[in-house]
Structure 1
Amino acid sequence: MRAGSKFMGAVSAVALATGIASSGAGIAFLSATTAAQAAVVNSIQVQGNSRIDAETVRGNITIRPGQDFTNADIDESVRRLFATGLFSDIRIAQQGGALVVTVSENQILNQVVFNGNSRIRDRQLEGIVQTKPLGPYSEPLVQADIQAIRDAYAAIGRNDATVTTNTVTLADGRINLAFEVNEGDRTRISTVNFVGNQAFNDGRLREVITTKRSNFLSFLTRRDVYAEDKLRADEELLRRFYYNRGYADFQVVSSFAELDPATNEYTVTITVQEGERYNFGAVNVESSVADVNTEELQALVQSRSGATYSAEDVEDTIVAISERVADSGFPFAQVTPRGDRDFANRTISVSYLIDQGPRAYVERIEIRGNTRTRDYVIRREFDLSEGDAFNQAMVRRARERLQRLGYFGSVEISTAPGSQPDRIIIIVDVQDQPTGEFSIGAGYSTGSDGGASIEASVTERNFLGRGQFIRVAAGGGENSRSYRVSFTEPYFLGYRLAAGFDVFRVEDDRPDNYSYEQTGVTLRVAAPITNNLTAGLAYNFSETRYTGTDSSLSLAYQQGIASSPWIKSSISPTLTFNTLDDRQLPRDGIFAEAGMEVAGLGGDAEFIKFTGRANYFQLLSESQDIIGSVAVGAGHMVSLGDNARVFDQFLQGGETIRGFDARGFGPRSELLADGDRDALGGTTYFNASAEASMPMPVVPRDFGLRVAAFADAGTLYGTDLDPSVTVGGVGFDQTWRASVGASLIWASPFGPLRLDYAVPVAKEEFDDVQEFRFGASSRF
């Protein structure tokens, strides 16, 4: 069996006739009414109806007594009557001064059942079919339901599922309908081959597409299900991948799948033609619209001369220039890129041409395919609304926003002519995808507070289809418990302003040390400044109660516990810059965040903390998919009161330098009776990390297994504690710690799963180490 790469759709008169009539008798009205030319009738008679009131029939036709009517009116009346689904046959004829409408009613369904199905439950099938109990029996509708059931089985890899129907007529004339399902065998994808690729190997290209080979966990992801529409979407993913890496001549020559009946497995083959790789040549902005300053617009150009050609850079530039020109009072201006290729030097010079476009307005925005996500969640991503000047660049920007939400498997936006020449209908076609996530993380520490710990959470990024984020998490170890509930409304009060809250509780019981219970809430808002820059503000309130055995604790902890309960009330402004190309496995971009926390708005804590961190990712080898990353971080605390409390200072460990326990390095207290020292934290920290990762050799690329090597370094020093409680302490200087290690990273069906092994190469004797760190995350 062979599924070709190209297909052709056709619309015919046969399809139209099928939508109008379901039997030969239904077509007879055409010849019976050809004599009716601009006639007038005095009355409308209904015949053949038994359950359906005659007024229902009269209300669904366009002809009225005493008014002229034509064949077109009869045609429209028949269409409307068939559209109700109540009739299997309709005849309209004029007899003298009366118009006679003869109908044959569809039988009423008593019961709809499903037999033979086990992979898809009855409740799911009931939601798929349109035939419902107590509704009319319609053969065209039943046939459509049969196809819908087959499509549902094809979506889970059972392409050869068959569906038939049985009907039983009851004594009262009603019908019992049974869908008989033969689920067939599950098909799989054994191989995905690429032909013609030179710049990127098969493994790298398999990561780009959504069609995946089968493996032992495919039953969880169903990514190995073959579907022709998915293969078509993969072609577009490949085009975007190549176009954004300089291959402007790239083409998908063909793509097809062959099924081996003996194994029920598909072999997918995609043939490509890469072409040459281009760089940008000269880049400029030109305008035929008066009063447009092209020199100012040149600063918005993201495609730089000499850089690798990228279609995404061109699209982003078009949007940026269009928005700036529209804001300057030219809403109908159009920005068109013109490319001039220099084949000898392999460059593309791009001119962005600004012209006054035709005056067109948005008549309406139609949204289709969203079975779960509410319409308004999609509409609010548009800067356009009904009646606004149509702007193609803003439509492209809306599409990018919808794709970034992560709610949809596909987003397509097209246009259609409106009711007037200067009106345009925007059509948005989306396909909802799972947005829930189950996460589980685990760790093991060998330090003073060693032991195993685990955390589990459930996250929904599109709660009830409203676009809201909600997360419930719980975790703990041998002596600890933690609980957290988070909620975010991304469009607070209808504005592009994210608002939310976090409620949390932490319980930590350390029999040989101290224990505490902390309860708190955070209220937060965030607003985008640009596409990549976001500002945020949070208010934090927490109450912490400490208990402990004084004789077993350091002086600093005894002082902190004596002040229990300790209330902190603070505000935290942040600024975030994000250009990462992918959230789970970034290959390019920067993530940077700067913030501060000011405590002292009531409560006991009084300090200011400044923090910052930045991560940079770059693809070091496209053919081998080697990703390099560098991360840096820093923080400084200033006490606003007489002295800081030990629990308010920075505590650093394995979260910044792998190989160390949580709170594993930095200033330590005096030597305690048990031979240990308490972590006192510090007022200043710096950390840096470098990492390189690549696909695991030998293992197939699409399995998602990667290996990494890393080096971490950092320091934590300084104190604002009362000098009387730091007597005998150590580690207050700027001594740097460092570690090296390796990681195993798996993009599993449960999400990114990572195991780190690190060895400290620079540490102090009083530091606590943690050699292994493990974490996992899962989507469903």
Structure 2
Amino acid sequence: MHYGERGILMGFVSKSFITCGALVGLSFPVFAAEGALVAGVSFSNRYGATGNLGLEFNDLFNETTQARLGFRSGENGEEWNAGLSTVYGLGETALGRETSLQFGLKASVSDWDVNPYQTENYEFNFGVGGNPTEMLSWYAGAFFRHDSLNNADDGLSAIIVDDLGSSEAYGLEAQLTWSDKDRAEVLQTGSVLSLGIATTFSNEDYRDWSSYNVRGETTVGAFGQSVLFVGLGGGAVRSKSDENRIHVLDRIFSNSDLPRGFAWGATGPIDPVTDDALGGTRYVAGTVELMAPLPRPGMAVGAFVDAGSVWDLGDLASDGVIDDDYDLRSSTGLSLIWSSNHGRLRASVAEPISYNDDDDLERFSFQFTASF
């Protein structure tokens, strides 16, 4: 499964991009909601130069319902997305404090040059969550997805060709998280541990699988006001059908953030003929970073060592042509973080230490988001 698509398989995800956005509050009533017009431009190593326009609504129908609609277009493709979510609080129950029912709808259509096909994704999820203690939270629910892969490029990898067309996946998922850390603070000490599992019940198009992931991180004081951050995560998705095969939409793809210094998909199996990223069924990622504050409030500089890998295609690599062995990639470098009321900046310069000769390296990454 792609990192972050459901938040149940992957422990690390982000994509390097530059974004300058304008957030303009509007005082017009939409079903008694507070609305905002969001506009901006961006540049990324994956999507190129893009412009985006969107609408966001809070308190739609009731104080716990949010809706969004967005469109992004650029020289390397375009996409649109929409979402609706609502939370119904149940208060304190036998399941814990702040127990709530949660419902969500999501839809997206994406067509970018980085992927050799167009994707359409529609998802509905519902579940229940709670907080047994101040630091412990949990969620358990069900999901239904309808996906389509269309308009494939010529010369598409044969491993992906069999996944073209429409397919569906539905199942159950659960997440347990313990945290005593406020992620909004750049140098705050504390720890986070999360465990996730999911399973589907579909025998269609190799979409019957079970998955798990675990992620732990801790930030401790070092010397002066500096801190040491250590993070480690891993997981897998396993086929439940007779054929040991996972659909491309459910496989794991590495991103350009862990390990830093490598492009999207570079730390996993690649088709040697078409150069298409194929993803894998197992992953591991870790980082150690020493961070120190700069004179400007909310700004810090760090030195890091990253390592990670995605591997194992099951029966898809049985012919020996595709290299899906475990090959740990690693890098070291410097990072800069700045967080303020108007936005957040992350930049890094990385030098790969261990890598394969055909890996797509990306030594510099930069991400900036802002709202005004």
Shift of residue 633, structure 1, vs aligned partner: 0.8
Q: 1:506 and 1:745 mapped to 2: Cα distance?
A: 32
Q: Secondary structure at the match of 1:678?
A: coil
Which residue of the partner structure matches residue 321 of structure 2?
728
Which residue of the partner structure matches residue 285 of structure 1?
none
Q: Percent identity?
A: 23
Query: Match for 1:607 among 206, 209, 214?
Result: 209
Amino acid at match of 1:729: I
Which residue of the partner structure matches residue 194 of structure 2?
593
Which residue of the partner structure matches residue 451 of structure 1?
48
Query: Match for 2:162 among 543, 554, 559?
Result: 559
Structure 1 residues 511 and 736: CA distance shift in structure 2, 3 A: closer
Question: Which protein shows a greater Rg?
Answer: 1
Task: Point out which structure has higher relative CO (alpha carbons under 8 A, 6+ apart).
Answer: 2
RMSD after superposition: 3.3
1:442-591 matched pairs, under 5 angstroms: 442=42, 444-445=44-45, 451-452=48-49, 463=59, 468=64, 470=66, 472=68, 474=70, 475=72, 477=74, 478-489=76-87, 491-492=89-90, 496-498=98-100, 499-510=102-113, 513-549=116-152, 551-561=154-164, 564-581=165-182, 583-591=184-192
Query: Residue 168 of structure 2 contacts residue 202 of structure 2 at CA under 8 Å; is this kept in 1?
Result: no
Which residue of the partner structure matches residue 694 of structure 1?
292
Q: 1:497 and 1:456 mapped to 2: Cα distance?
A: 35
Report Cα offsets for 1:292-349 as digits up to 9, x if no partner: xxxxxxxxxxxxxxxxxxxxxxxxxxxxxxxxxxxxxxxxxxxxxxxxxxxxxxxxxx
1:583-732 matched pairs, under 5 angstroms: 583-601=184-202, 604=205, 605-621=207-223, 624-641=224-241, 642=243, 643-672=245-274, 677-696=275-294, 700-702=295-297, 704-723=298-317, 727-730=320-323, 732=324
Shift of residue 692, structure 1, vs aligned partner: 1.9
Q: Provide structure 2 residue ranges, at least 5 long, that are not aligned to the other structure.
A: 1-22, 24-35
Amino acid at match of 1:612: V
Structure 1 residues 450 and 660: CA distance shift in structure 2, 3 A: farther
Which residue of the partner structure matches residue 22 of structure 1?
none
Q: Secondary structure at the match of 1:565?
A: strand
Shift of residue 482, structure 1, vs aligned partner: 4.0
Which runs of at least 4 in structure 1 moved beyond 6 Å after TM superposition?
436-441, 454-460
Structure 1 residues 516 and 644: CA distance shift in structure 2, 3 A: same
Structure 1 residues 625 and 443: CA distance shift in structure 2, 3 A: farther
Which residue of the partner structure matches residue 753 of structure 1?
345
Shift of residue 685, structure 1, vs aligned partner: 0.9
Q: 2:56 and 2:191 mapped to 1: Cα distance?
A: 25
1:92-131 matched pairs, under 5 angstroms: none
Q: 1:650 and 1:494 mapped to 2: Cα distance?
A: 37
> What is the TM-score when the length of structure 2 is the normalising length?
0.76
Structure 1 residues 473 and 663: CA distance shift in structure 2, 3 A: farther
Structure 1 residues 452 and 663: CA distance shift in structure 2, 3 A: farther
Query: Residue 444 of structure 1 contacts residue 770 of structure 1 at CA under 8 Å; is this kept in 2?
Result: no
Shift of residue 506, structure 1, vs aligned partner: 3.1
Q: Provide structure 1 residue ranges, at least 5 long, that are not aligned to the other structure.
A: 1-219, 221-435
Structure 1 residues 708 and 473: CA distance shift in structure 2, 3 A: farther
Q: 2:254 and 2:107 mapped to 1: Cα distance?
A: 21
1:74-473 matched pairs, under 5 angstroms: 442=42, 444-445=44-45, 451-452=48-49, 463=59, 468=64, 470=66, 472=68
Shift of residue 588, structure 1, vs aligned partner: 1.4
Which structure has greater strand proportion? 2
Amino acid at match of 1:501: G
Q: 1:476 and 1:658 mapped to 2: Cα distance?
A: 26
Structure 1 residues 774 and 443: CA distance shift in structure 2, 3 A: farther
Which structure has greater helix proportion? 1
Structure 1 residues 582 and 718: CA distance shift in structure 2, 3 A: closer
Shift of residue 743, structure 1, vs aligned partner: 2.0
Shift of residue 649, structure 1, vs aligned partner: 1.5
Q: How many residues align?
A: 329
Q: 2:44 and 2:231 mapped to 1: Cα distance?
A: 24
Q: 1:758 and 1:471 mapped to 2: Cα distance?
A: 38
> What is the TM-score when the length of structure 1 is the normalising length?
0.38
Structure 1 residues 559 and 727: CA distance shift in structure 2, 3 A: farther
Q: 1:535 and 1:618 mapped to 2: Cα distance?
A: 25
Q: Secondary structure at the match of 1:539?
A: strand
Shift of residue 635, structure 1, vs aligned partner: 0.8
Q: 2:78 and 2:315 mapped to 1: Cα distance?
A: 27
Report Cα offsets for 1:210-244 as digits up to 9, x if no partner: xxxxxxxxxx9xxxxxxxxxxxxxxxxxxxxxxxx
Q: 1:614 and 1:440 mapped to 2: Cα distance?
A: 34
Report Cα offsets for 1:252-283 as digits up to 9, x if no partner: xxxxxxxxxxxxxxxxxxxxxxxxxxxxxxxx
